[in-house]
């Protein structure tokens, strides 16, 4: 089981809602500042992951993330991190390839979300 901490969360939509399998239970930060949107996940034991996925979300197309892993439970000794990743940079399409009626004509960013479920973010895939 994981333990979640960090950030600043609205009391009506707390961080603990992310621990349920019910996707209708959401968590919401108190504001959009970097300190409020940080999230720490502490695992009780070492585990093997094939992917880290976050969602559904209401992220905008300008989001970025960074994953840092630590060697200790107090999060004081970092082992490594991904650096800041902006997935949109990989999604930008050549403007001459976008049909006029496409929903992403003005942004140049091919949609990767679903109107019903929100944006699902594949943070990393491990091999």
Question: How many independent structural domains does the chain possess?
Answer: 1
pLDDT of residue 65: 85
Taken as a whole, the chain contains a residue count of 127
Contacts 24+ apart (CB under 8 A), 101-109: 107/61, 109/61
Secondary structure, 3-state, 63-91: CCECCEEECCCCCCCEEEECCCECCHHHH
pLDDT at 6: 92
User: Domain residues for 6?
Assistant: 2-125
- pLDDT by residue (tens digit) across 59-112? 776 788 888 888 888 889 999 988 888 776 655 566 677 788 877 777 766 665
- The C-alpha angle 41, 45, 51, rounded to 5 degrees, equals 55
Q: What is the pLDDT of residue 127?
A: 44
**The token pair that represents 55 in the structure block:** 């969602």
């Amino acid at each position: 089981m994981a333990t979640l901490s960090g950030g600043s969360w609205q009391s009506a939509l707390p961080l603990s809602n992310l621990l349920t399998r019910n996707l209708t239970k959401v968590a919401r930060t108190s504001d959009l500042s970097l300190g409020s949107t940080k999230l720490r996940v502490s695992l009780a034991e070492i585990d093997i992951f094939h992917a880290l996925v976050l969602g559904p979300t209401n992220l905008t197309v300008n989001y970025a993330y960074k994953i840092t892993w630590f060697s200790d439970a107090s999060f004081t000794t970092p082992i490594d991190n991904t650096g800041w990743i902006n997935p949109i940079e990989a999604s930008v399409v050549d403007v001459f390839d976008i049909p006029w009626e496409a929903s992403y004509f003005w942004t140049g960013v091919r949609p990767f979300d679903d109107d019903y479920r929100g944006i699902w973010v594949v943070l990393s895939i491990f091999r």
